[in-house]
Amino acid sequence: MYFHDRVKYFRQEKKSDFLLLGLSLLFTLFGLLMIYEASNFAAFESFADKYHFVRDQFVWSLIGVVVMGLAAFFPYKKYFQLSVPFLLVTIVSLIAVLIPGLGIKVLGARRWLSLGFINFQPSELAKLTLIIYLASWLNSKEKGRLASFMVLLSIIVGLVLLQPDLGTAIILTAIFLTVYFVSQAPWWQFVLLIPLSVLGVLIMAVISPYRYQRLMTFFNPELDPLGSSYHIRQILISLGSGGLSGLGLGASRQKYLYLPEATTDSIFAIIGEELGFLGSGILIFLYLLFLYRIFLTVKNAPDKMSYLLGSGIMAFFGFQIIVNLGSMVAVLPLTGVPLPFISYGGSSLLVSLTCVGIILNISRQAVKKKS
């Protein structure tokens, strides 16, 4: 194997990436601050408790930090034995959300599974378990992969589309294609796979009236200002109101129930309104630094398994950041994708912190050239 040969000429570094850890914790703390800023009015209106949403997120952040610590020291090679059970649990949970009484229906979508004491979003779990499964599978399988890959892709993405959740389906497809590509698959397969994936997304957008309206709104933001284009117009108003330096923390006007999904998918609009172009620019720079640190870990991965794991995690964070921010500035159609670490949502935060733990684990095994 190419990784096995490479290690002969390198020395091992037994040190975690503390900058990556620091950035992850900083994003999480900043997320708590902005969730409070974006949600205190809505929380008081709905629950008579302005701390309702931020309290929930704080509990999830504590759980996430603990799980991140466990993942940082759990031997990543053992995921090979766990990959199939993880995948089966994911598929079962994705089916369960579609069953009335088990899945929770909110605004016409079934994306949450009630576990009694908490509600969990299986599609978020799917991002992590798929990375683990694909890394384990492609690490060992050499031939006859394309047909099996297409079947698995169709099952997982198809179940997510039934919820319906096109945004998550796009992220999952991007993860699939990235991990498959870096596993040294033949280039000609991507000549086939990428156009098919893009065509599939377009078909899914067109056949659904709701998604079709969003697509038309992307091309013409003036269309139906009080209906299909209301959300993106409020986002742009929020970002425009912030100007260069922002209105200041707590000064957002859009959070007073003008901006839909202000604490979740649209939280970047509140950040832009309160902290302005400068604050938003700093956040984007820190995200780029975060992705660069993951890239360095992947580049110095000691074996193919860790290389594929790291590549999948980098694709997860990278595409999710791009899709969320792109939709906020109307460069991409509006989709329901959370901003990593910052958007309200315990499932998303838990998965993000777990992924960071895996990267920290790999960084401790990193190999670098001898000086």
pLDDT digits (tens, 9 = 90+) for 267-324: 999 999 999 999 999 999 999 999 999 999 999 888 889 999 999 999 999 999 999 9
**How many domains, in total, are found in the chain?**
1
Q: Quick check: is 34 in a domain?
A: yes
Q: Quick check: is 280 in a domain?
A: yes
Q: Quick check: is 208 in a domain?
A: no
Contact 329, 348 (CB under 8 A): no
Confidence band of 92 (pLDDT split at 50, 70, 90): very high
Q: Quick check: is 225 in a domain?
A: no
Q: Quick check: is 214 in a domain?
A: no
Range of the domain at 168: 2-193+230-369
Look at residue 48 and tell me whether its pLDDT is greater than 80: yes
Look at residue 1 and tell me whether its pLDDT is greater than 50: no
The contacts of residue 93 (CB under 8 Å, 6+ apart) are 113, 120, 122, 125
pTM of this structure: 0.89
Q: Quick check: is 202 in a domain?
A: no
Mean pLDDT of 25-42: 94
pLDDT score at 5? 43
181-232: per-residue pLDDT in tens? Answer: 888 877 777 777 777 777 777 777 666 666 666 666 666 666 666 666 788 8
Q: Quick check: is 29 in a domain?
A: yes
Amino acid symbol at 277: F
Q: Quick check: is 300 in a domain?
A: yes
Question: Residue 286's Cα: distance from chain center in Å?
Answer: 16
Look at residue 4 and tell me whether its pLDDT is greater than 90: no
φ, ψ dihedrals at 271, nearest 5°: -60, -45
Confidence band of 9 (pLDDT split at 50, 70, 90): very low
Lowest mean pLDDT among 44-53, 133-142, 155-164: 133-142
Across all residues in the chain, what is the average pLDDT? 84
